[in-house]
Amino acid sequence: MAQLVHTLPERRPVIGVTSLAGEIYLLRPKGRDQVEVYDVITYRLQRCLTVPNAREFTDMTSCEHCRCVYIGDYDGECVHRLDVQGAFTRWTVSDEPSGLSVNALHNVIVTCHDVHKVKEFSSRGVSVREITLPDDVINPWHAIETRSGQFIVCHGEPDDPVHRVCMMSADGRHIVHSHGGQRGSDTGQYNVPLHLAVDDNEFAFVVDVNNRRVTLLSPTLEYVRQVVSRDQLKWDPVRLYLHQQQGLLYVTDNEWKDGDFTSGRVVVFSV
């Protein structure tokens, strides 16, 4: 089991977490100062940034090569780009983005939940390609492209019959491997697998929201172990960020109350 290292402040819910240039970026839904920037060593708050024309955030990721952070905006149907100097730009997705990741070409992979598509964009928002996932990959939340060109995708809303993590072929048409199936709480089951992190050896960390845990899968999506248990969390895990160089896993931990997330924090584990 992962060991607790630190807990970042409990405030508004945390919609995304990532790192860039020696700092940790947290994304919270509020009117201004939505991005909180912390030192990666001391965990001290350095500054807050306001995303212009922000509407409803869904996820956050980053690229050290391009030196920027990307923020998904569901209602705005766009991605906001924040460079390390603090300048914001944005580009349209033409669908509601749910999950974001960056591939080996430093392009942005945008998962569009409602239309079960994966879209790839350059760092500046130029469309590269669009992949439609198979009909049985219902309500995809997050996709990560592996170095071999395949996609790992997690999918399943609370009322869906199937909750899985799938490895897709490079064209997105075929399921190569999968883990999960009928919704449940056993080791081979999920109850809303919402977000992923994949290490350099292509082991996958999976947030299992309603089971309140993080699961580790092998490169062929076989069950390895539970990394974070419900006993190590106060509320529900929603987002993940893996800092490979430091061997740290950042897990957002949000309180669900009266049909909405009301509070949140980030829990840092050594893995």
Given this model, what pLDDT does residue 96 score? 96
Number of domains into which the chain is organized: 1
For residues 145 and 103, is the Cβ–Cβ distance under 8 A?
Answer: yes
For 42, the domain range is: 3-270
The edge-to-edge listing of strands for the beta sheet with 248-257 is 3-7, 260-270, 248-257, 236-243
pLDDT of residue 1: 86
Q: Which of 88, 89, 93 is nearest to 73 (CA)?
A: 93
Stated pTM of the model: 0.96
Token pair, residue 158, equals 């609370």
pLDDT in the model for residue 259: 83
Q: What is the pLDDT of residue 129?
A: 97
Using CA atoms, how far apart are residues 102 and 213, in angstroms rounded to an integer?
24
CATH of the domain at 9: 2.120.10.30
Per-residue confidence (pLDDT) for residue 86, from 0 to 100: 87
Per-residue pLDDT of the chain (271 residues; tens, 9 = 90+): 899 999 999 999 999 999 999 999 999 999 999 999 999 999 999 999 999 999 999 999 999 999 999 999 999 999 999 998 889 999 999 999 999 999 999 999 999 999 999 999 999 999 999 999 999 999 999 999 999 999 999 999 999 999 999 999 999 899 999 999 999 999 999 999 999 999 999 999 999 999 999 999 999 999 999 999 999 999 999 999 999 999 999 999 999 988 888 999 999 999 9
